[in-house]
Structure 1
Amino acid sequence: MQQIQTNNMTKHLTSIQIAATYIGTIIGAGFASGQEILQFFGYLGVRGLLAVGITSLLFMGFGFAILHIGHRLQATSHLQVIRFSGGNWIGTVVDSVITFFLFGALTVMAAGAGALFAQEFGLPAIVGGLIMMLATLVTVLRGIRGIVSAMSYLAPFLLLSVLGLGLTTVAINWGKLAENIGWSMTEAAPVPNWIISAINYTSYNLVVGVAVLAPMGGIANQKAISGGAILGGLGLGLGALTITLSILANVPEAIRYPIPMLFVAQLLSPALGYGYGIVLLLSIFTTAVSSLYGFASRLTDPGGPHFRRLVIAASAVAFLGSQVGFTTLVGTLFPAVGYAGLLLLGSLVFGMFKLNYRSGLAESQPEPVLPASLKPLLDSDPSDKNISTVLAGETPGHKNLSTFTAGDKSPED
């Protein structure tokens, strides 16, 4: 029964679904609020735009690596992928970082929902965090297929909304963007070097993403994996680029708010501000869902009796931790996990090398070469009297005294 279910899932999982789930996993912790983009790219000015380009390529490459290794291993958890890629010691360290940050990202998403409710609707932050945790809890209890299904519908809408707002802002404020293009505030960036910032940004996002991408690779075919990784990385790169440009077009005002993109939307129209607030809530929701599922499935079997209790307990603790505040959590937790996540990126490179080396080794093995004396037997009749001597370890014309065929006579005769 399990095999039948897996085959059905593999058959219907398309590149679009993989890309949508990839984007949906990253979009909340990655860029929808604008605070993450501001800290990793916006503060760096023009160099931040170059960093966005590098990030998009890294998302494609490492996203493919996670999916591909998961596919080859038929993974049901990210643990199988990182243990294969990094070995026991490094795999254990990386797994600890991932498990910690999955819970940390869940906490940040709860804080982000609270900040959004406070900034946009004037409600206490605790209300937003509570609503987010309840919605996340219900979705995760539906399992991995529920997550893929939810993100397949939400992620394209979220990405199009982000792109639409970003492109509209850039078009309207093109003159101001041209004036501000040389602006930077490097001293405020948690990672001042633009190349390292791009790697760090990719790293912390994939620490979240691997929890969903690895088991998804286990139920997808190779063609869908390749297309999904490319489309996912491209979509994430375009989203990050438009948000960076939108923020640069509205500095320094935009950087004063915990959710810069909500401020940008409100500048265009109060109604648009409310609309983007809903979009942002949905993007936070998708990342919260993937984080909670990844965290809980790492600690216990999703089909086991303890999964439901763990999901409920983790949601409650994350809600309490979210009271620290959104901006503080983004500026401290994300960069720290990004550095620790470099072990994950390195392990994935090594994991791909191991897979390719094994495949190449298997392909390079020569075909077995038969002795010339055996080749005539390939075309001979199975009843040929010489075959019995071959099976006994002899070749025709080289029999010992203990091996005879049906047509031979005993030396005593």
Structure 2
Amino acid sequence: MIKGEFSNILKVAFLYMATIIGAGFASGQEIIQFFSIYYKGGFLGIILAGGLFSIVGYIVLSKVYTERIKSYDEFLFPMMGYFFGKIMEFVVMLFMACVMSVMTAGLGNILMGLTGLQYRYCVIIGITVCLLAILTNIKGIVVLSSFISPVLIAGIIFVGCYILVSKDTSVFNISNKLGVITNNWAFSSILYVSYNTILSTVLLTGMLPYLKSKKVSAWGGLLGGGMLGATALILNSALYFFYPHSITSEIPVLGIIQNNSQMLSKIYSGVLILAMFISTVTSGYCLAERISKKMKVNYKLVAIIICAIAVPLTSLGFSNLISTLYPVFGYLGLFLLFVIIFQYIRGIISSRYSRG
């Protein structure tokens, strides 16, 4: 594999990861609520999720490359039809708006803790920086994800290993066991992949300029999914030692390390800022791109408007939204996940049948 091709594979894989490793993932909230609550079953759930992420990434990116797909519409409507395509399009746009608002709120909370400024000022600072990144369009976001995703992965793995080594459960003193999202670790894992597929598919269908060969598209999806699974396993291993010992913090990972190491707490706060930043930017870009194309309005104007609208919505709770909204979108996204995999399998069967 030549150096340039490997570089493109990494770019694609990191962008794929950037749509999923957001604040919910890095904070530990998603990992706890979708995996850790099932104890040992959570580890199996993560392996299942990593496999599904690899499969979905492989299918979507391979389809984008072979069919020269340049937009989400070109991917969605031929696969789902006009009626279901319109429904899914509405679900996608609603989910992107929710993600953008939630991540902006989390960004404001972290900045407030670090700077001491009032929350509303931190939100305005955070959304302004995100807007500047959104205005760079897909090329700028690819560059950002190529830098930020490796930093996120390294930070999560380092902190996860630190927690595994220290294993000091004395930092908690109140028990607060969370309610399970489903009664089955496998279905919870599928829901997790489902709602993440809603946003990641929008971004992946705009990746054609970076898919220089079939190998780049295939390995970009497979590698991205595999690295997601491996990172989640390390984080879940760390959280497993503390569950259900008082997961009371809005940001569980930070709650674990802040009483052990103030320096590490500040470093991981920086990691969380990057995670929230890239989540806000990717969801904001996808939403602005969809609205501008549908309404034939200037992209930059749409980006400014949606960032302004996101500010008053940031009063919503971070962990409560993950435990309520995300599973709802998981159920709504099941149809998209099913169709992507079903259409791929049907295509393989049809191809073999026609050759036979």
TM-score by length of 1: 0.78
1:58-73 equivalences under 5 Å are 58-73=52-67
In structure 2, what is the Cα distance between the partners aligned to 1:207 and 1:239?
21
RCO comparison, higher one (Cα < 8 Å, 6+): 2
SS of the residue corresponding to residue 20 of structure 2 reads helix
- Is 1:249 aligned to 2:251, yes or no? no
The aligned residue for residue 107 of structure 2 is 113
Q: Which has the larger radius of gyration?
A: 1
- Give the distance between the partners of 1:126 and 1:37, measured in 2 at CA: 28
Measured in 2, the distance between the counterparts of 1:184 and 1:68 equals: 44
Post-superposition shift, 1:151?
Answer: 0.4
Q: Is the counterpart of residue 98 in structure 1 residue 89 in structure 2?
A: no
CA distance in 2, matches of 1:184, 1:63: 36
Q: Distance in 2 between matches of 1:193 and 1:129?
A: 37
Instruction: State the SS of the aligned residue for 1:23.
Output: helix
Residue 41 of structure 1 is aligned with which of 35, 39, 63?
Answer: 35
CA distance in 2, matches of 1:107, 1:98: 14
Work out whether 1:306 is the aligned partner of 2:320.
no
Alpha-carbon distance between aligned partners in 2 of 1:75 and 1:272, rounded to the nearest angstrom = 44
CA contact (8 A) 1:21 1:151 kept: yes
* Residue 244 of structure 1: how far off its partner (Å): 1.5
Deviations 1:341-382 (A, max 9, x none): 001101212332454356557756xxxxxxxxxxxxxxxxxx
In the alignment of these two chains, the number of paired residues is 348
User: Residues of 2 paired with 1:139 and 1:79: CA distance?
Assistant: 24
Determine the structure 2 residue equivalent to 1:16. 10
CA distance in 2, matches of 1:257, 1:34: 10
Alignment correspondent of 2:130: 136
Q: Distance in 1 between matches of 2:250 and 2:48?
A: 26
The CA distance in 1 between the partners of 2:307 and 2:354, in whole Å, is 47
Change (3 A) 1:92 1:153: same
TM-score, L = length of structure 2? 0.89
Matched to 2:237, the amino acid is L
Instruction: Tell me by how many angstroms 1:34 deviates.
Output: 0.9
Q: Is the 8 A contact 1:191 1:335 kept in 2?
A: no
Aligned with residue 125 of structure 1, among 104, 110, 119: 119
Residue 288 (str. 1) matches residue 267 (str. 2): no
In structure 1, C-alpha distance between the alignment counterparts of 2:323 and 2:161, rounded to whole Å: 26
- Mapped partners of 1:142, 1:296: distance in 2: 12
2:216 is aligned with 1:224? yes
- Corresponding residue number in structure 1 for 2:232: 240
Gaps of 5+ in 2: none
For residue 308 of structure 1, report the CA deviation from its aligned partner.
1.1
1:215 aligns with 2:209: no
Mapped partners of 1:349, 1:193: distance in 2: 21
Query: Among 192, 195, 198, which residue is 1:204 paired with?
Result: 195
Which residue pairs with 2:80 in the alignment?
86
**1:153-182 CA distance string (max 9 Å, x none):** 110111011011101211222x869xxxxx
Measure how far apart 1:118 and its partner are.
4.4
The answer (yes or no) to whether the contact 1:28–1:284 under 8 Å persists in 2 is: yes
> Taking structure 1 as reference, are residues 284 and 314 closer, same or farther at Cα in structure 2, changes over 3 Å only?
same
Percent identity of paired positions between Structure 1 and Structure 2: 29
Q: Contact (CA 8 Å) 2:23, 2:106: kept in 1 or not?
A: no
Report the more deviating stretch, 277-286 or 70-79: 70-79
Please state which structure has a larger fraction of its residues in helix.
2
Alignment partner of 1:276 is 2:268: yes
Kept after mapping to 2: 8 A contact 1:73/1:80: no
The CA RMSD over aligned residues, in Å, is 2.6
Hey, what's the Cα distance between the residues in 1 that align with 2:345 and 2:208? Answer: 18
Alpha-carbon distance in 1 for matches of 2:279, 2:11: 16
Pair 1:193–1:76, CA change in 2 (3 A): same
Query: How far 1:248 sits from its partner (Å)?
Result: 2.2
Q: Structure 2: how far apart are the matches of 1:74 and 1:306?
A: 25
Q: Is the 8 A contact 1:33 1:259 kept in 2?
A: yes
Is the Cα contact below 8 Å between 1:102 and 1:291 reproduced in 2?
Answer: yes
1:146 and 1:195 mapped to 2: Cα distance? 36
Matches of 1:23 and 1:279 in 2, distance apart?
A: 15
**1:164 maps to which residue?**
158
Contact preservation (8 Å) 1:25, 1:208 = yes
Residue-by-residue CA offset, 1:115-156 (whole Å, 9 max, x unaligned):
323455554333332222112211111111111111011101
Question: Which residue does the alignment assign to 1:190?
Answer: 181
- For 1:308 and 1:318, how far apart are their aligned partners in 2? 16
Match among 316, 325, 342 for residue 324 of structure 1: 316
User: For 2:301 and 2:45, how far apart are their aligned partners in 1?
Assistant: 41
Distance 1:228-1:138 versus aligned 2 partners, 3 A rule: same
Aligned to 1:27: 21
Equivalent residue letter for 2:325: L
> SS of 1:188's equivalent?
coil
How far is the alpha carbon of 1:250 from its aligned partner? 2.7
Give, in whole Å, the separation in 2 of the partners of 1:144 and 1:278. 24
Pair 1:337–1:28, CA change in 2 (3 A): same
